[in-house]
């Protein structure tokens, strides 16, 4: 029916519809190409193709957080991350960036709220869960700290050289023992390595 209606329309209407179709096609192609290019090495190229592509913006913001300085550069990154959220309200990198920058400005309560949302949206973001591990322990939330350590250890074996020694160090605090024992009882695949390292590395057995 749509094709029939189009064929019967006036030349002006048909031209308008064709223009809209071409614009939509170019936009879709541009967005798709930017999506394919949205990697750390090519984020800037992707943004030159489509400055509004959320994937490229997120990748760029993720890379910038690694080297951003406090002050104006951090404020700009936070502002850019807020713009990402305008397009994609559940973008984990943007939420995490704003949260970590808030923490660097001594607003840890605001940071914790944002990073907690980011953590619920994704268990794969290392910086989100690493910050929460530290924060939960410092705010006497031992069970939640162990949960964050478990998430980080399950994410990637490459996290183990950092997280395992940190968790072993935390066992000096008696508040950690019960929640850690409950997690170990579930037999996470990092358990064997942890127990072996606990026996050999812990200076406070």
Residue 55's pLDDT is 53
Return the number of other C-beta atoms located less than 10 Å from residue 89's C-beta: 9
If residue 30 lies in a helix (H) or strand (E), which one and from where to where? Answer: helix 11-37
Residue 177's pLDDT is 94
| pLDDT tens sequence across 97-111 | 899 889 888 899 999
Could you say which DSSP state residue 187 is in?
-
Residue 62's pLDDT is 62
Return the number of other C-beta atoms located less than 10 Å from residue 10's C-beta: 8
Average pLDDT over residues 10-19: 38
Q: How confident is the model at residue 120 (pLDDT cuts 50, 70, 90)?
A: very high
User: Mind giving me the DSSP string for 38-105?
Assistant: -STTTHHHHHHH-TT-HHHHHHHHHHHHTTPPTTHHHHHHHHHHHHHHHH-TT-HHHHHHHHHHHHHT
Average pLDDT over residues 4-23: 37
- In whole angstroms, how far apart are CA 202 and each of 33, 35, 80, 130, 194? 51, 46, 43, 21, 11
| pLDDT tens sequence across 160-199 | 999 999 999 889 899 999 999 999 999 999 999 999 999 8
Q: Which two tokens stand for residue 22?
A: 């071409």
Residue 73's pLDDT is 77
Mean pLDDT of the chain: 74
């Amino acid at each position: 029916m749509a094709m029939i209606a189009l064929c019967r329309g006036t030349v002006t209407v048909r031209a308008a519809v064709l223009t809209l179709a071409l614009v939509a096609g170019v936009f879709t192609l541009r967005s798709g190409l930017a999506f394919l290019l949205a990697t750390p090495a090519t984020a800037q190229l992707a943004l030159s193709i489509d400055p509004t592509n959320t994937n490229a913006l997120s990748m760029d913001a993720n890379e910038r957080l690694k080297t951003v300085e406090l002050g104006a550069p951090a404020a700009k990154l936070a502002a850019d991350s807020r713009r990402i959220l305008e397009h994609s309200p559940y973008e984990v990198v943007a939420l995490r960036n704003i949260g970590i920058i808030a923490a660097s400005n001594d607003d840890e309560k605001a940071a914790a709220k944002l990073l907690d949302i980011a953590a619920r949206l994704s268990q794969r973001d290392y910086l989100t869960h690493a910050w929460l591990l530290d924060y939960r322990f410092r705010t006497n939330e031992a069970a939640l700290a162990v949960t964050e350590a478990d998430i980080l250890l399950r994410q990637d074996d490459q996290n183990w050289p950092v997280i395992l020694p940190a968790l072993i160090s935390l066992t000096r605090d008696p508040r950690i023992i019960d929640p850690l024992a409950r997690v170990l009882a579930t037999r996470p695949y990092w358990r064997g390595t942890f127990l072996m390292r606990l026996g050999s590395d812990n200076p406070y057995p």
